[in-house]
Amino acid sequence: MVHVTSEIGRLRKVLVHEPGPEVDRMVPPMMEELLFDDILFGDRARDEHRRFRRLLQLLGIEVVEANALLAESLADDAARAWLWARLRPEAPQELRAGEPPESAEKAVAIAVTGLLAGDRCRGIEVEDLFRLPPLPNWCFQRDPQVILGDGVIFSAMATTARWREGLLTRCIFRFHAELAGTPVVLDPLREAREAGQFFGPHRPRLEGGDILVLSPEVVAIGVSERTNMVAVELLAEAFAKRDNSPRWMEIVHLPTRRAYMHLDTVFTIVDRDAALVFQPVICGDGPQLADTYEIDLGSSDLVPRHRGHLLETLGKRGLDLQPISCGDDDPLAQQREQWTDGANALALAPGAIVLYDRNIATADTLARSGFRVLPAEDVLLGREEVRLDGEERVCLLIDSYEMSRARGGPHCLTHPLEREDI
């Protein structure tokens, strides 16, 4: 079962993936395409991720490991055959002619960790080192799919380096015993193939970090370096054909900068009446302000109409959100902390959020906005108690020395499978 109708409803079940051997196999030539800022120290990254997961569990949230779902799905011979048929174009020649792996565990290891070139390695480039490259970005479970209502939207990943993640997600939702019955709201790749829009600028690009489920009536979509209007139009058409879909689609055209790779890097909701924002893009008065267009999904034409900036538009749709500035009012701190995911908070419940601890100015701003700010370590060690069913605003700061180098915060690292309705 999946169910998500907001960004802040009490989180009950969440999808994650601990950075595994695929991170340990990263080499510098992979960094640019993967948008990592450094080669991660895998053991430290895993320690930070485990502390994050344990925090969620202590707060009563069920944590689901993506590799475990994948292994359970691939226990079926038909699932391994399905996945292998779709991996063959990317696989080395000797694997294309072979049969799928005999075990689910081996299939997961190959699909996620990749295959080394071994004795045949004759250089330092990625193609020299790997027969099949690893998937270091698989830890960012926000992107390969989106749960909206009781259905799933599959992504169309923007870069070749992340293409395989979309296949793994489709495999899980096709073959896993608990998820196979989930209605598919949109598979943009299938739609594009049928419409002949599969290549070049006509290929849809859609990633989960650009889709925010703001309420049962409102969904926001970022048009960014990773998501294009081809995919947005397909999604609008899919919503218009379905019952129980949102009524309003807010399309936020982000400036083309690496720092703003997804909408959730500049805007996340933290309470019923508040959002964490990167001010220059979301509510500033300078050239970086993002334009917002709106589609009435109940209309017959589905034409985007210009509405100004995002917060103003959301206010007209019943979402009156007070902006809390990432980096406070200091323009230098704003840029520095947006870069380290200071606007990328995960809401565990209304007014209860998780943020990276390195974003000090953002934490100070949250404190002045009524949040009790405390290290997650205090909860893990029993020094502080947090209840998600209370009225208190609280921000839990998690360790981020290593994970922040991968260019994704707590919102990016998680995908809610079940949230309570607001």
Residues with catalytic annotation? 412
Report CA Rg, the chain: 21
b/e per residue 173-206 (b: at least 16 CB within 10 A): bbbbeebeebeebbbbbebbeeeebeeeeebbbb
Distances (CA, A) of 60 to 186, 244, 297, 345: 31, 29, 36, 19
CB count, 10 Å around CB of 69? 23
Strand 274-277 and strand 322-325: the pairing is parallel
Torsion from C-alpha of 413, 415, 416, 417, nearest 10 degrees: -140
Residues contacting residue 155 through CB under 8 Å, at least 6 positions apart? 143, 144, 145, 146, 165, 166, 169, 188, 206, 207, 208
Contact 155, 209 (CB under 8 A): no
Residues contacting residue 24 through CB under 8 Å, at least 6 positions apart? 42
Reported in sequence order, the residue ranges of 333-392 that DSSP labels E, i.e. its strands, are 346-349, 352-356, 371-375
Beta bridge partners of 90: none
Going by C-alpha positions, the residue among 300, 296, 321 that lies closest to residue 309 is 321
3-state helix, strand, coil split of the chain in percent (to 5) is 40, 20, 40
Residue appearing with tokens 């990943």: 157
Residue appearing with tokens 């299939």: 107
Residue appearing with tokens 């601890």: 357
Contact 318, 264 (CB under 8 A): no
Question: In angstroms, how far is the first alpha carbon of the chain from the final one?
Answer: 18
Residue appearing with tokens 């230098």: 332
